[in-house]
């Protein structure tokens, strides 16, 4: 998850700041390689026994899951790839999650687009949003994996709006802002099964109450023009939020 979700956003920030992307990526890739080697050298039997003992203390766990999970947790990356790669994209595209994720992801792309400095940066941003779906090749939970693109999109939007000066408001900015708030409202209601078909079981009223701070901030931003700290508006004495 760190390689597919967090690292691309970090490298996007490095690129936006004029840094050396390959040099910045090297420590993360080296640590990943060390973890992979350690996994390959670790006897799987001991880990499976420890996981089975841990799961045996969970009486509410489905017996099939309890029996299979120790093996799933200790299979190597290559073994997971062998088991999951066949039919990965068919499994992913049949999941309901793409339709549920699309509105918020499109809203993020709209917000990030004014800060793209070139077609190359746009391509990198879109790749960072799409890269988490590579996990479909070595993991089973397609709905859960689709939500990773939302997190990647949020991180990427944060990065590009903080490292590049946004362009002036486009025509029809007000309707678009209202549409983005509508997307946020829609996202407060439906749920996406995250793992083993389990979804958020909070009542809608409780979920809305927990999201009130986010909703209030979105409504406030929809009614004004926001400038990230350090841009011209903040430096010439005007407030960052007008």
Report which of residues 239 and 45 the model is more confident about.
45
More confident call, 7 vs 78: 7
Tell me the per-residue pLDDT of 28-78, one tens digit each, with 9 for 90 and over. 999 989 988 887 787 767 788 888 888 888 877 778 878 888 888 888 778
Q: Is 198 helix (H, G, I), strand (E, B) or coil?
A: strand
DSSP codes of every residue in 139-175: -S-HHHHHHHHHHHHHHHHHHHHHHSPPPPPPTTHHH
Distance, CA of 91 to CA of 10 (rounded, Å): 29
Quickly tell me which residue has 């408001």 as its tokens: 169
Given this model, what pLDDT does residue 232 score? 46
What integer pLDDT is reported at residue 239 of this predicted model? 38
pLDDT at 203: 78
User: pLDDT tens across 73-116, in order?
Assistant: 888 778 888 888 888 888 888 878 888 888 888 888 887 887 77
Three-class DSSP category at 106:
helix
On whether the pTM is more than 0.75, the answer is: no
Closest Cα to residue 98, out of 152, 53, 143?
Answer: 143
Q: Which tens digit of pLDDT belongs to each residue from 116-163?
A: 777 877 888 889 999 999 999 988 888 889 989 999 998 888 888 787
How many residues comprise the chain? 242
Using alpha carbons, select from 200, 202, 196 the residue that is nearest to residue 60: 196
Looking at residue 194, what is its pLDDT? 67
Q: Is there a contact between 216 and 223 (Cβ–Cβ < 8 Å)?
A: no
Tokens of 51: 């996981």
Residue 163: closest CA among 22, 20, 14: 14
Q: What pLDDT band is residue 26 in, cutting at 50, 70 and 90? A: very high
- Predicted confidence at residue 237, as pLDDT, reads 43
Supply the DSSP symbol for 3. Answer: I
Say if CB 214 and CB 165 are below 8 A apart. Answer: no
The rounded distance, in Å, linking the Cα atoms of 167 and 225 is 12
pLDDT of 165 reads 63
Q: Decide: helix, strand or coil at residue 21.
A: helix
pLDDT > 70? residue 11? yes
Helix or strand or coil: residue 195?
strand
């Amino acid at each position: 998850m760190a390689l597919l979700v967090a690292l691309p956003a970090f490298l996007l920030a490095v690129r936006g700041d004029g840094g050396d992307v390959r040099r910045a990526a090297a420590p993360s890739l080296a640590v990943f390689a060390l973890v992979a080697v350690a996994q390959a050298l670790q006897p799987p039997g001991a880990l499976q026994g420890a996981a089975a003992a841990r799961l045996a203390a969970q009486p509410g766990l489905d017996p099939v899951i309890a029996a299979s999970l120790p093996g799933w947790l200790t299979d190597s990356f290559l073994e997971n790839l062998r088991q999951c790669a066949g039919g990965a994209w068919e499994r992913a595209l049949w999941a309901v999650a793409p339709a549920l994720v699309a509105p918020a992801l499109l809203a993020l792309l709209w917000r990030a687009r004014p800060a793209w400095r070139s077609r190359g940066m746009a391509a990198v941003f879109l790749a960072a949003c799409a890269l988490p779906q590579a996990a479909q090749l070595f993991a089973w939970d397609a709905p859960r994996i689709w939500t990773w693109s939302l997190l990647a999109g949020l991180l990427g939007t944060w990065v590009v709006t903080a490292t590049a000066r946004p362009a002036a408001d486009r025509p029809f900015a007000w309707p678009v802002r209202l549409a983005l708030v509508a997307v946020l409202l829609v996202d407060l209601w439906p749920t996406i099964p995250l793992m083993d078909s389990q979804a958020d079981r909070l009542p809608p009223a409780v979920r809305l109450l927990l999201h009130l701070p986010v909703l209030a901030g979105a409504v406030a931003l929809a009614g004004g023009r926001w400038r990230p700290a350090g841009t011209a508006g903040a430096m010439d004495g005007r407030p960052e939020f007008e």
